[in-house]
């Protein structure tokens, strides 16, 4: 049986077990959650997270060194960031449009008077951009500051390229380090079905059917927007820009999507998504190593969709109308926030707080959606990493065309 099939079966079994226990035996669920579900999920997450920082370092260094020509690095960088920003804009517009069509905020009486949520402050975008260059690379590694690790790794890879033969031995060590990390990913993935079972059983059993019933239409709109964005935005870009079959792309990338769904973390899924992109999607290692770690840090289309739907939902629940100018502000703030809050824990809700503040909506309204946010977080993480892989595939195919033109020139 394929690993992806095992993971999907584990997700379905975990979903059923969590739901049944929540409805029929809550006390038993609490015990099983403490001694079985949570430990299984935590062990798997810790095993994956253990590899994230070294994989990002080795892969970005190799990716930058593999690109060689600084012009090539700049060209790929511009393509990657442009794709991320454009798809994020499209994602939040889809979310807003569907929220206006289905009006989830008018679907019931929501307790807006007793809603309370304390929003954490996210750093300004300017501060995040200034802090991209680490004062102390060792501290960046210890804290897991991905933007700083990526920046330092690009500098190291660039230096290895410029120094050429002088650093051939060091480059070989980095290559061997990357091989070790990828081998460990394959070993750890054997535990993935058990980890996925524990994570989904814990999430569903904890949330309960009541939360889902109360917020059913909101959940439906978010999930519909995620599906529309994945199939049409990513599917059409794969078909038009990469000239590949989008359904084959989704099928080949499904193992990574399954892991993302269970972990709810783009960074935690990074080792798996890179491995799948390189082996199944045939993305060259130097492109995958550059595009996907960057995407895991700044590309948040799934989160942008949630913000678009949640903003309109909260406005409707409080009986407030947004002007066209405010809607444009929502889109721009969400796109900037996707970079500005990179690496911040609980990033989705922090970004949403920033968006709500930008159009003077009550931040307390986040309390209305926080109950089922954990369930939706799983789906939007799967969308986030799929966007990273789609970008890597498109960059791969466009670089092939560029190389072919240079050959004939």
Summarised one tens digit per residue, pLDDT across range 184-208 is: 888 888 888 898 898 888 877 876 6
Residue 298 has what pLDDT? 80
At 277, which CATH number? 1.10.3860.10
Q: Find, among 265, 336, 328, 326, the residue nearest to 304 by Cα.
A: 336
Domain residue limits at 322: 3-408
Instruction: Looking at 103-145, list the stretches that DSSP marks H as alpha helix, in order from N- to C-terminal side.
Output: 125-130, 137-143
Tell me the average confidence (pLDDT) per consecutive run of 10 residues in the chain, 409 residues long.
Answer: 80 87 86 90 87 86 78 85 92 94 80 63 65 88 83 89 88 90 86 87 75 77 95 95 93 90 82 91 89 85 89 89 89 75 62 83 83 80 93 92 76
- What is the pLDDT at residue 147? 77
Q: Which structure tokens are listed for 156?
A: 């190291």
What the block records as the tokens of 198 is: 């524990």
Among positive and negative, which fits the CA dihedral 73, 75, 77, 80?
negative
pLDDT at 108: 67
- Burial letters for 174-206: b for 16+ Cβ neighbours within 10 Å, e otherwise? bbebbeebbebbeebbeebbbbbbbbbbbbbbb
CA distance 97 to 241: 25
Output the pLDDT for position 121: 62
Report CA torsion sign: 253, 298, 305, 96. Answer: negative
What pLDDT, on the 0 to 100 scale, is given for residue 119?
58
Cα angle value 145/147/152 (rounded, 5°) = 95
| 41 contacts: CB under 8 Å, gap ≥ 6 | 195, 198, 199, 202, 262
- The tally of domains found in the chain comes to 1
Residue 346 has what pLDDT?
59
Give the tens place of pLDDT for each residue, 59-110.
Answer: 888 888 877 677 777 888 889 989 999 999 999 999 999 999 998 888 766 6
Provide the pLDDT for residue 213: 67
pLDDT, position 70: 74
């Amino acid at each position: 049986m394929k690993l992806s099939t095992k993971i999907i079966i584990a997700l379905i079994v975990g979903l059923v077990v969590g739901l049944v226990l929540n409805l029929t035996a809550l006390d038993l669920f609490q015990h099983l959650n403490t001694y079985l579900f949570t430990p299984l999920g935590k062990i798997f997450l810790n095993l994956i997270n253990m590899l994230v920082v070294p994989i990002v370092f080795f892969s970005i260094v190799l990716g930058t060194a593999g690109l060689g020509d600084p012009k090539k690095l700049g060209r790929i960088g511009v393509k990657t960031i442009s794709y991320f920003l454009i798809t994020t804009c499209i994602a939040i517009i889809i979310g807003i449009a569907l929220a206006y069509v289905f009006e989830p905020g008018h679907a019931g009486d929501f307790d807006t008077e007793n809603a309370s949520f304390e929003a954490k402050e996210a750093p300004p975008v300017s501060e995040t951009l200034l802090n991209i260059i680490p004062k102390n690379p060792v501290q960046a590694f210890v804290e897991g500051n991905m933007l700083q690790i990526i920046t330092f790794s690009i500098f190291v890879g660039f230096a290895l390229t410029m120094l050429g033969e002088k650093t051939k031995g060091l480059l070989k060590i980095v290559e061997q380090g990357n091989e070790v990390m990828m081998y460990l990913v394959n070993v750890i993935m054997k535990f993935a079905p058990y980890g996925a079972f524990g994570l989904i059983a814990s999430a569903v059993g904890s949330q309960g059917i009541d939360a889902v019933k109360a917020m059913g239409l909101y959940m439906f709109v978010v999930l519909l927007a995620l599906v529309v964005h994945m199939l049409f935005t990513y599917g059409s870009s794969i078909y038009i820009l990469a000239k590949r079959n989008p359904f084959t792309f989704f099928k080949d990338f499904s193992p990574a999507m399954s892991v993302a769904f269970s972990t709810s973390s783009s960074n935690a899924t990074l080792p798996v998504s890179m491995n799948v992109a390189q082996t199944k999607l045939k993305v060259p290692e130097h492109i995958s190593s550059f595009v996907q770690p960057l995407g895991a840090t700044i590309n948040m289309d799934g989160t942008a969709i949630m913000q678009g739907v949640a903003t309109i939902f909260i406005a409707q629940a409080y009986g407030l109308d947004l002007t066209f100018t405010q809607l444009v502000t929502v889109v721009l703030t969400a796109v900037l926030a996707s970079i500005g809050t990179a690496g911040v824990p609980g990033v989705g809700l922090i970004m949403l707080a920033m968006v709500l503040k930008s159009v003077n909506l009550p931040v307390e309204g986040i309390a209305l959606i926080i109950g089922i946010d954990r369930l939706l977080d799983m789906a939007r993480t799967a969308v986030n990493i799929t966007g990273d892989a789609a970008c890597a595939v498109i960059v791969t195919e466009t670089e092939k065309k560029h190389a072919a033109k240079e050959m004939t020139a």
